[in-house]
Amino acid sequence: MKHHGSRLTVIALSALLAAWLIYPPEERLKLGIDLSGGTILVYQATVDSGSLDPAADDPNATPSGSAAPGSLDDLIVSLKQRLNPDGLKDITIRSAGENRLEILLPRATPEEVEDIKRRMTDVGSLEFRILANRRDDRSQIEALEADRNEAVLPRLRSNYLFVKLGEQLTGSGEGVSHTSTTLTDLSKNLVRNAYAGKAKLRITGTRPGSTRAETQEFAILRNSSNTFTVKGTIPFEKVTSYELRYIPSEMSTTPDPSDPQSPYVRRVQRGPGHEEFFILAKRDRYNVTGEYLRSVRQEIDDQLKNAVGFSFNTAGARRFGELTRQYQPKEDGRFRYMLAIVLDNVVMSAPFLNAVIKDRGIISGGQNGFSNAEIKYLIDILRSGSLPATLDPNPLFEETIGPTLGEDTINKGVRAIFVSMLLVPIFMIFYYGRYAGVIAVFALALNMLLLLAAMSLGQATFTLPGLAGLALTIGMAVDANILIFERIREEKNRGAGLAQQVRSGFDRAWSTILDANLTTIFAGLILLYLGTEEIKGFAITLILGLIWNMLTAVVYSRWIFEYLLHKRWIKEFRFASVLTKPSIDFLGLWYWFQAVSLTLIVVGLVAVTSLGGRLLNIDFTGGTLVTIRLKDQSSSLENLTATEVDRVREFLKLNDSQRIAWVREQSRNLPDVTVETLNVERPSNQTKAKADPATGQTPTTPSTETTTPGTGGGYRFNIRTTDTNPQEVQARIIEAFGAVLERPAMRFGQVEAIPPADSSNPSSSPSSRFAGGFAFPLNVSVPLAPSRVADLFARILGSNDPGPAIENPESRFEIVRATIEADAGPDTPTTSLVLRTDLPPDTIRPKLERLVTDVPNTPSLLFERLTNFGGVVAGETQLLAIYAVLASWIAIAAYLWLRFKSLAWGIAAIVALVHDVLITLGFIAMAHYLSVVPVVSQILMIEPFKIDLPMVAAFLTLIGYSVNDKIVIFDRIREIRGKSPFLTTQNINDAINVTLSRTILTSLTTWFVVTLLYFFGGEGIHGFAYCLVIGIVTGTYSSVAISATVLAALLAKPSPGGKAKVESSLVKPTASNA
């Protein structure tokens, strides 16, 4: 009794632990962008000048240049590996216009989004440099000290470079404001979160009712371009000043010039109260970088603080040994060299070299060491390698988006999945009785629970079509139970007792279940190792699901059966039956099978070839992205016709779900459209201050702004299409949406004179370029980028309508934002602009009136973004996916060769898999032609399906399902053959007939589920389900019609009574062996 009790306890604890890991599900289970929305980020990519680029030698130089197309593709691959190495997080990265990347993140906490931003913008470049000193490099240092202009630097670049030592920020006066947890300095323009968790902020101020100044130190939780959020409460009523000093290596910024070991440090003023420090390092021929790292790990330094340990590979150890050997201590150890460990061009530590170091070392985190989070971050970055190009730390564009599928589509999909999950258990209980059926359902539910728990631990993201691995796991879990129960039925038919039926049923089914699951797991491991991020997500889900399947369906189920038998609750197994004793000569029909298969394959390939690239979805081809803004309840309906007003009012009656569906419907005149809802959400604590249009000066009084969809900003959507012609897309959008598009309206205010420049401080005012000129405030109804308005106004100034044309118009004016906002760039869209010019008001005013007229009628201003973007799966990535699938097939063939002692078994399985893929691909292509046949397309709901990432997942599911089906038959063939060295056609026919009941049950169960998803799951999974509806039929057919006949052609001999011995050609069975 104790034996059974402990087993039940293990089962109960497994279920409780899994339930605890996924509770509450809304927090622990993350949904993908298609289900929950997320964040869009757009970054500018530039050439990675790095510390080895000559431009970086001059600390005053700013890295410039743009990423070459090849490096941009390499950057996308590297970012995917860094952000989503296991393919479980549903992160989309693709090119978006020239030298720009678009990243789509699933909905996450602000902290998670900030962490991903940091991972994207940190290059992860590790270098080891010997610092220059005043003994060996005295003349060069003296030259730099004597001449701080750029004349000296070019002569030194071949042998020296500057690396960043750190920086210091200070601020005081009226420009500094604070709350209980934040400090803002509007004069700063900082890299977001550059100091979070790294530096301390020293704040000086006075408490309420006191005039005595105090200074306190605060840890920085995060920082924006001009605001620090600190840990703890700032107790001061008035802040008088602050200081932030960030020197990771804790080296002195004022080294002693009389010490020959002392390095040379150069100070650079980056802005008001912002000073950076650079230290001179030597170039060397060894060039030891992170490229040579073999491993990275957490260690403890000599001060018992957290540090990052690293080891080099053979080449790196040789280079590092030669470098440290060259710079050994001199003068009996009185003179030592400093080795700088440089991460992303910042010196992390610079210890003295005392001995030769070859293959390992540590990166220390200074006096306090690295935090656990920082350690994990550094290890992840170093393991993923440096990026081939850099991203500007501040995103050009950042938005939150709604679910890309739409609420109605999501609800349909979820309902269809729920119903299918409910019907499968009902069928199992009906067919296999209350005991066996209920145990199968329990095992299936526990399998899903354990899989969800594992995915939750791995912080995986669930997408609606991305549940392909889950769907295959369910199918194979059901199949495992059917295999066991059919074996129990056979034992019952032989007259065995209840206990023997269970024991033999599980024992005999185990070999087949093990082969089927291990074959699929090995294929999944190959996909995991070689596949793209999207394929890796499928592979991990599948592998985990199959591991749990072998535990729940085989081990836990058996324990429960044995417990029920021990309690004598099971008296008899009562199973329904489909086919009792079929006796079909399948191999005798091989001519018909061959004709059917060849016909379908040829017709399908003709359809595929004729469609060409039109068969691929936007995930592979890329296309055009346009951001539109539609009218909301606050929009003006002036100057519209009665028909247009009615159309707008009908649109405004729609709810959120209906609205996105309406946008999709209106976009049907574009090919392959996807729609994303954009939400403008700005935190309420963001600082905004309005500048005086005449002077350009900005008061320091903070204000607050919150913008939400449909409250004056219009309803905003991203529309993506495979049409790569932006002008054509623009024209079709205008035609389709008409009056519902929100057209910008502009007005300008009274002219104001700009005061003359302050001769004592010419750069003090942002308007100094047009000092003594004139300013016009401009207000627009929707946010517009200043540069786009300036482009239009430059064309108007350069034309002779109205008034004479102005020469060099771009140099005669500027249009800029009239406000300064935290984290807002100079070209961030806004509704408040200011035009400054040196032209007389009488000249400018007619041109401004023309601008007011042209703004609503300029197509380019109707769209916030209009740009081409690349596919999610680039050309090289497509090849990688194909290689991964081919390698997985080789793994399947190899495993079957090992298990069945002949390569013929693997060849038979692979031929059938290729057959299944080709026929399914052909049916996808033929759907393009069937979709134009009215009755057929309406009844069968056929559309011109295209291959996208969800459909790739469906193909992978099909391959896994199909190989499982074939291994079941192969295993029974091996069992029927027994110890005979020969395989006969009768053996193969008998195996197919014996397993036919199981084949039909498994196939019908799974096919019913995907058919339900196809007809009722909504458009989000329509193509995915179509692929599986065709694929399951094809896979079942090929198991009996293709793999078996290929196996017979390669191995089978005629059955007793036959005349010929068959080695390499198929024998048509005779009457005697049929």
CATH code of 325's domain: 3.30.1360.200
Res. 431: pLDDT tops 60: yes
The region that residue 53 occupies, defined by phi over 0 for left and psi between -120 and 50 for alpha, beta otherwise, is beta
Same domain, 655 and 737: yes
Same domain, 914 and 843: no
Same domain, 780 and 655: yes
Same domain, 915 and 823: no
d(CA 829, CA 817) in angstroms, rounded, equals 8
Q: Is residue 399 a part of any domain in this protein?
A: no
pLDDT digits (tens, 9 = 90+) for 818-872: 876 655 667 778 889 999 999 999 999 999 999 999 998 888 788 877 777 776 6
pLDDT digits (tens, 9 = 90+) for 880-922: 667 777 888 888 888 888 888 889 999 999 999 999 999 999 9
Token pair for 1000 = 């039909």
Which pLDDT value is given to residue 366?
62
Q: Is residue 116 a part of any domain in this protein?
A: yes
Phi, psi of 568 (to 5 degrees): 60, 30
pLDDT range class, residue 264, cuts 50, 70, 90: very high
d(CA 808, CA 21) in angstroms, rounded, equals 66
Is the pTM of the predicted complex or chain greater than 0.75? no
Highest mean pLDDT: which of 11-15, 120-124, 149-153, 194-198?
Answer: 11-15
Give the residue, 90 or 64, on which the prediction is more confident.
90
pLDDT digits (tens, 9 = 90+) for 374-387: 777 777 777 777 67
pLDDT range class, residue 705, cuts 50, 70, 90: very low
Which pLDDT value is given to residue 952?
79
Percent of the chain with pLDDT over 70: 84
pLDDT digits (tens, 9 = 90+) for 602-641: 999 999 999 988 888 877 787 888 888 899 888 888 888 9
Same domain, 457 and 528: yes
d(CA 632, CA 635) in angstroms, rounded, equals 5
The residue among 953, 966, 857 whose CA lies nearest residue 907 is: 966
- Tally Cβ neighbours within 10 Å of residue 127: 23
Which pLDDT value is given to residue 560?
94
Token pair for 274 = 């912002």
Residue labelled with tokens 């009457």: 1071
Which pLDDT value is given to residue 222?
84
Question: Helix, strand, or coil here: 857?
Answer: helix
pLDDT digits (tens, 9 = 90+) for 233-260: 999 999 999 999 999 888 888 888 889 9
pLDDT digits (tens, 9 = 90+) for 336-357: 999 998 888 889 888 888 888 8
Which pLDDT value is given to residue 54?
33
Which pLDDT value is given to residue 692?
40
Helix (H) or strand (E) holding 223: strand 213-223
Which pLDDT value is given to residue 689?
39
Res. 1070: pLDDT tops 70: no
Res. 929: pLDDT tops 80: yes
Give the residue, 61 or 189, on which the prediction is more confident.
189
Which pLDDT value is given to residue 217?
94
Which pLDDT value is given to residue 688?
38
357, 180 in Cβ contact below 8 A?
A: no
Cis amide linkage into residue 24, ω under 30° from 0: yes
Same domain, 99 and 45: yes
pLDDT range class, residue 72, cuts 50, 70, 90: confident
Q: Is residue 215 a part of any domain in this protein?
A: no
Residues pairing with 780 in the sheet: 746
Res. 767: pLDDT tops 50: no
| Cα separation of the two ends of the chain | 52
pLDDT range class, residue 657, cuts 50, 70, 90: confident
Residue 450 half-sphere exposure toward CB, CA atoms < 13 A: 26
611, 928 in Cβ contact below 8 A?
A: yes
Res. 320: pLDDT tops 60: yes
Res. 695: pLDDT tops 60: no
Concatenating the DSSP letter of every residue in 759-784 gives: TT-TTSSTTGGGTTSEEEEEEEEEEE
> Which of 853, 869, 885 is the last residue before a domain boundary?
869
Biggest CA-to-CA distance, the chain: 114
pLDDT digits (tens, 9 = 90+) for 109-124: 777 787 788 788 777 7
Number of domains within the chain: 4
pLDDT digits (tens, 9 = 90+) for 706-749: 333 333 457 888 888 888 888 889 889 999 999 999 888 899 99
Res. 668: pLDDT tops 70: yes
Same domain, 732 and 816: yes
pLDDT digits (tens, 9 = 90+) for 1025-1065: 899 899 999 999 999 999 999 999 888 666 555 443 333 33
213, 206 in Cβ contact below 8 A?
A: yes
Q: Is residue 19 a part of any domain in this protein?
A: no
Same domain, 470 and 327: no
Question: Helix, strand, or coil here: 629?
Answer: strand
Which pLDDT value is given to residue 130?
93
The region that residue 110 occupies, defined by phi over 0 for left and psi between -120 and 50 for alpha, beta otherwise, is alpha
DSSP H helical ranges for 458-497: 468-493
Which pLDDT value is given to residue 703?
32
**Choice among 19-23, 115-119, 126-130, 292-296 with the minimum mean pLDDT:** 115-119
Mean pLDDT across the chain, nearest whole number?
81
Which pLDDT value is given to residue 64?
43
Which pLDDT value is given to residue 407?
63
Same domain, 519 and 659: no
pLDDT range class, residue 576, cuts 50, 70, 90: confident
Token pair for 1008 = 């019913």
Token pair for 1034 = 């094809």
Same domain, 785 and 747: yes
Which pLDDT value is given to residue 922?
96
Which pLDDT value is given to residue 758?
58
Res. 765: pLDDT tops 60: no
Q: Is residue 929 a part of any domain in this protein?
A: yes
d(CA 925, CA 943) in angstroms, rounded, equals 10
620, 948 in Cβ contact below 8 A?
A: yes
d(CA 143, CA 150) in angstroms, rounded, equals 11
307, 369 in Cβ contact below 8 A?
A: yes
Which pLDDT value is given to residue 223?
86
Percent of the chain with pLDDT over 90: 26
Which pLDDT value is given to residue 979?
78
**Choice among 315-319, 753-757, 911-915 with the minimum mean pLDDT:** 753-757
Q: What is the mean pLDDT of residues 17-32?
A: 83
Which pLDDT value is given to residue 916?
94
Q: What is the mean pLDDT of residues 566-579?
A: 86
The residue among 414, 412, 408 whose CA lies nearest residue 654 is: 408
Res. 512: pLDDT tops 60: yes
Res. 554: pLDDT tops 60: yes
Domain range for 734 is 623-758+765-869
Same domain, 786 and 697: yes
Cis amide linkage into residue 395, ω under 30° from 0: no
Which one-letter DSSP state was computed for residue 227?
Answer: E
Cβ within 8 Å of residue 428, ≥6 positions away: 437, 440, 441, 444, 478, 481
Res. 135: pLDDT tops 80: yes
671, 754 in Cβ contact below 8 A?
A: no
Q: Is residue 267 a part of any domain in this protein?
A: no
Q: Is residue 420 a part of any domain in this protein?
A: yes
pLDDT range class, residue 196, cuts 50, 70, 90: confident
Residue 106 half-sphere exposure toward CB, CA atoms < 13 A: 21
Res. 153: pLDDT tops 70: no
Res. 996: pLDDT tops 80: yes
**Choice among 10-24, 383-397, 510-524 with the minimum mean pLDDT:** 383-397
d(CA 475, CA 469) in angstroms, rounded, equals 10
775, 835 in Cβ contact below 8 A?
A: yes
Same domain, 881 and 863: no
> Which of 87, 121, 155 is the last residue before a domain boundary?
121
Give the residue, 937 or 1065, on which the prediction is more confident.
937
d(CA 789, CA 833) in angstroms, rounded, equals 9
Res. 60: pLDDT tops 50: no
Q: What is the mean pLDDT of residues 964-977?
A: 89
> Which of 314, 347, 372 is the last residue before a domain boundary?
372
**Choice among 390-404, 415-429, 445-459, 925-939 with the minimum mean pLDDT:** 390-404
Which pLDDT value is given to residue 1073?
33
pLDDT digits (tens, 9 = 90+) for 777-811: 999 988 888 988 999 999 999 998 888 899 889 88
The residue among 260, 256, 253, 257 whose CA lies nearest residue 279 is: 253
Residues pairing with 271 in the sheet: 274
Q: Is residue 1033 a part of any domain in this protein?
A: yes
676, 404 in Cβ contact below 8 A?
A: yes
Cβ within 8 Å of residue 741, ≥6 positions away: 628, 629, 630, 631, 733, 734, 862
Helix (H) or strand (E) holding 958: helix 949-977
